[in-house]
A = this chain, B = another copy of it.
Amino acid sequence: MRTAFKLSTLLIFPALVVISLVIFYPRASKAINNSEECLNCHVSKGITASAIRDWKLSKHFEAGVACADCHIPVKEAVKEIHESKSNCEDKRVRRLVSPRNCAQCHEDKVNEFERGKHALAWVAMMAMPTTKDQPSVLIEGEKGCGGCHRIGRDEGKCDACHTRHRFSTIEARKPEACMTCHMGFDHPQWEMWSTSKHGTIYFTEGKNWDFSKPLKDWYKEPYKADPSTPRAPVCQTCHMPNGDHGVKTAWGFLALRVAEKDPEWAKLRNTIMRGLGVLDEKGNFTERVKIVEAGKVVRLTAEEWQAERDRMLKVCSQCHSPSYAKEQLDKADEVIKESDKLMAEAIEIVESLYKDGIIERPKDYPLHTDLLRFYEVRHPIEQKLYVMFLEHRMRSFQGAFHMNPDYQHWYGWAEMKRDLAEIKHEAEMLRKQFAQAKQKKK
Interface residues of A, Cβ cutoff 8 Å to B = 17, 43, 46-54, 56-57, 87, 95, 134-135, 137-138, 141-148, 163, 166, 170-171, 174, 176-177, 179-181, 183-186, 190, 195-197, 199-201, 203-205, 207, 219, 222-227, 229, 231, 317-324, 331-332, 334-335, 338, 374-380, 383, 387, 400, 403-411, 413-414, 417-418, 421-422, 424-426
The 8 Å CB contact of A404, one of B180, B200, B226, B332, is B180
Contact of A380 among B134, B200, B425 (CB under 8 A): B425
- B-chain residues with CB within 8 Å of residue A409 when the two chains form the complex: 138, 144-145, 147
Say yes or no: A142 contacts B179, CB within 8 Å: no
Measured CA separation A142–B95 after assembly (Å): 50
Separation in Å of the A214 CB from the closest CB of chain B? 17
Indicate if the CB atoms of B87 and A323 lie closer than 8 Å.
yes
Determine the distance from Cα of A307 to Cα of B424 in the docked complex, in whole angstroms.
48
**Could you give 14 example pairs across A and B, Cβ below 8 Å?**
A49-B222, A50-B318, A50-B319, A51-B319, A95-B324, A137-B335, A144-B335, A145-B409, A171-B204, A179-B200, A180-B196, A185-B406, A185-B414, A186-B410
Q: Which residues of B contact A50 (CB under 8 A)?
A: 231, 318-320
- The CA of A425 and the CA of B384, in the complex, are separated in Å by 13
With CB as the reference atom, state the residue of chain B lying closest to A24. Answer: B225
Instruction: Decide if B137 touches A417 in the complex (CB within 8 Å).
Output: no
* B383, A422: Cβ atoms closer than 8 Å: yes
Contact present for B222 and A376 (CB under 8 Å):
no
CB-CB under 8 A from A135, the residues of chain B are: 334-335, 338
A222, closest chain B residue (CB): B49
- The reply to whether B47 and A408 contact each other, CB–CB distance below 8 Å, is no
Contacts of A180 in B (CB 8 A): 195-197, 199-200, 404-406
Given A53-B222, A54-B231, A142-B331, 12 more contacts at CB 8 Å?
Answer: A43-B223, A56-B225, A137-B334, A142-B405, A179-B200, A180-B405, A375-B414, A375-B421, A378-B425, A380-B422, A383-B418, A383-B421
Chain B minimum-CB-distance residue to A428? B378
Copies in the complex: 3
**Cα of A323 to Cα of B408 in the assembled complex, Å:** 42
Whole-angstrom distance between the Cβ of A355 and the nearest chain B Cβ: 20
Q: Which of B17, B57, B200, B406 contacts A171 (CB 8 A)?
A: B200
The residue in A56, A322, A410 that gathers the most chain B C-beta atoms within 10 A of its C-beta is A410
In contact, A421 and B87 (Cβ under 8 angstroms) = no
Complex contact A408–B143 (CB within 8 A): yes
Q: Contact at B177–A204, with CB atoms within 8 Å? A: yes
What distance in Å separates the Cβ of A136 from its nearest Cβ neighbour in chain B? 9
Would you call B185 and A411 a contact (CB within 8 A)?
yes
Q: How far is the CB of A176 from chain B (nearest CB, A)?
A: 5
Q: Name which residue of chain B comes closest to A334, CB basis.
A: B137
Chain B residues with Cβ below 8 Å from A146 are 405
A165 to B225, CA, bound (A): 12
- In this complex, the member of A138, A170, A185 whose beta carbon has the largest number of chain B beta carbons within 10 angstroms is A138
B52, B148, B197, B225: the one within 8 Å of A405 (CB) = B148
A186 to B414, CA, bound (A): 12
Least Cβ–Cβ distance between A124 and chain B, in angstroms: 15
Q: Once the chains are docked, how many angstroms separate the CA of A404 from the CA of B219?
A: 34
Of B134, B185, B223, B377, the residue contacting A53 (CB under 8 A) is B223
State the Cβ distance, A409 to closest chain B Cβ, in Å: 4
Chain B residue contacts of A332, Cβ below 8 A: 143
A199 to B317, CA, bound (A): 32
| Separation of A138 and B417 alpha carbons in the complex (Å) | 14
Closest 7 CB pairs of A and B: A147-B405, A50-B319, A56-B225, A185-B410, A144-B409, A49-B222, A375-B417
In the complex, what's the smallest C-beta–C-beta distance from A432 to chain B, in angstroms?
Answer: 10
Q: What CA separation (Å) do A424 and B375 show in the bound complex?
A: 13
Task: Assess the B222–A46 pair: CB atoms within 8 A.
Answer: yes
Given A184-B410, A203-B176, CB of A319 within 8 Å of CB of B195: no
